[in-house]
Amino acid sequence: MQAYWKKYTLQFKQAAGTSRGVLHTKDSYFIFLYDAQNPNIKGIGECGVLQGLSIDDTETYEQTLYNVCKQPQAFFAENFSALAAYPSIRFGVEMAYNDWKNGGKRHFFATKFTEGGEGININGLVWMGDKTFMQEQIDAKIAQGFSCIKMKIGAIDFETEWKLLKKIRQHFSPEILTLRVDANGAFSPKEAVEVLRKLADLAIHSIEQPIKAGQIQEMAQLCQQNIVPIALDEELLGVLDISAQEKLLDQIRPQFLIIKPSLLGGFAASQQWISLAEARSIAWWITSALESNVGLNAIAQWCAHLQTSLPQGLGTGQLYTNNFASPLEIAAGKLYYRPEILWNLRPLQ
């Protein structure tokens, strides 16, 4: 068993605004796994670290990748838990290992999705920006046939964001168009109450992380009031021990969890969160974390395998100018896998 890694910088087609800043590029690290006796079959895994958000965004990141690839037997033989402190690397290792075991074809699960039949319902993502830019994105998503739109809020003044949402709701009822918002922890606990009340008037489906992570009591109070259903996102990051995960969910009792394999440590680690959530009647959906089509493909196949019905957050594959050609395609608000379309990973070679 041999392994090596490469760094690749993805270029956004247009600046991606969040409450934590504006993104123009995004680095991904790709792990390649192969058997020296058969080097043509390579498993590929994407380590999608997010600067300022991933718990493994540290100065030791590349050295850890080097150590993993130097002694792959110590990490790849399904001993993914050894990388618990590096969730994005753990995900990349798990992805590469499973890809390699399945012949290096980027095919992880046999489902109707990978057969080219059923698509996965996804939300159309509206990035933060000025009013005109956000309105243009909203109009485009509706024209593209999305039945669920998620708008990031908290960067410009909330009143402007609320008016944009109100305009949508005036034209599309909740039965026709589902509206989600993602605050990325933009509001204080005091502000959040008023924000939630105003959003409730628009029949908003849910809000992701209305206040910053770590304010357990305040988040629990917001969830208990259930003015608008709350989804935990950043709150889950770095909570690695199962007893700590159980305690967190029991204290906060959210309505939803956002499952991001790159930030939580891969499929096995994400499945643990899902199992804990379902045991507590907490709903969930899966969201990509700005991976390239390589990581997005693995996440989408896993998502299809789980047979969940809620719209998923898997629409980020079209964000980049230099993404990899893949079988993934978005049509009428769904993500499809087209088996007849070949991968093009030449930029990584």
Q: pLDDT by residue (tens digit) across 221-245?
A: 999 999 999 999 999 999 999 999 9
137 and 208 share a domain? yes
- Choose one of 56, 73, 101: the last residue of a domain: 101
42 and 130 share a domain? no
Instruction: Give percent above pLDDT 90 in the chain.
Output: 81
- Choose one of 101, 129, 148: the last residue of a domain: 101
Kindly report the number of other CB atoms within 10 A of residue 209's CB atom.
Answer: 24
158 and 246 share a domain? yes
150 and 273 share a domain? yes
Question: What are the two backbone dihedrals, phi and then psi, of residue 75, each rounded to the nearest 5 degrees?
Answer: -125, -30
76 and 146 share a domain? no
Collect all residues with Cβ–Cβ distance below 8 Å to 234 and sequence separation of at least 6.
Answer: 53, 184, 185, 209, 212, 213
87 and 202 share a domain? no
The count of structural domains within the chain is 2
Q: Tell me, yes or no, if 152 is annotated catalytic.
A: yes
Collect all residues with Cβ–Cβ distance below 8 Å to 185 and sequence separation of at least 6.
Answer: 19, 154, 209, 210, 211, 212, 213, 234
Q: Tell me, yes or no, if 260 is annotated catalytic.
A: yes
**Could you tell me the CATH number of the domain that includes residue 237?**
3.20.20.120
- Choose one of 101, 128, 144: the last residue of a domain: 101
In the predicted structure, residue 19 carries a pLDDT above the cut 60: no
Amino acid 305 reads H
94 and 124 share a domain? no
Q: Is residue 188 a part of any domain in this protein? A: yes
Q: Is residue 178 a part of any domain in this protein? A: yes
45 and 94 share a domain? yes
125's tokens: 């993502």
85 and 133 share a domain? no
pLDDT for residue 80: 67
130 and 97 share a domain? no
Domain extent at residue 64: 2-101
286 and 333 share a domain? yes
**Could you tell me the CATH number of the domain that includes residue 53?**
3.30.390.10
In the predicted structure, residue 201 carries a pLDDT above the cut 80: yes
Residue 53: band (very low, low, confident or very high) from pLDDT cuts 50, 70, 90: confident
Could you tell me the CA-to-CA distances from 336 to 88, 260, 273, 332 in Å, in that order? Answer: 25, 19, 26, 10
Question: Concatenated DSSP letters for 112-123?
Answer: TTTTT-PPEEBP
Coil vs helix vs strand at 273:
helix
Task: Yes or no: say if 23 and 73 are a contact pair by the CB < 8 Å rule.
Answer: no
Q: pLDDT by residue (tens digit) across 142-157?
A: 999 999 999 999 877 8
Q: Is residue 106 a part of any domain in this protein? A: no
pLDDT for residue 17: 65
42, 141, 150, 152: the catalytic one is: 152
Q: Is residue 108 a part of any domain in this protein? A: no
38 and 128 share a domain? no
Q: CB pairs under 8 A, 24+ apart, for 212-215?
A: 212/185, 213/185, 213/237, 215/189
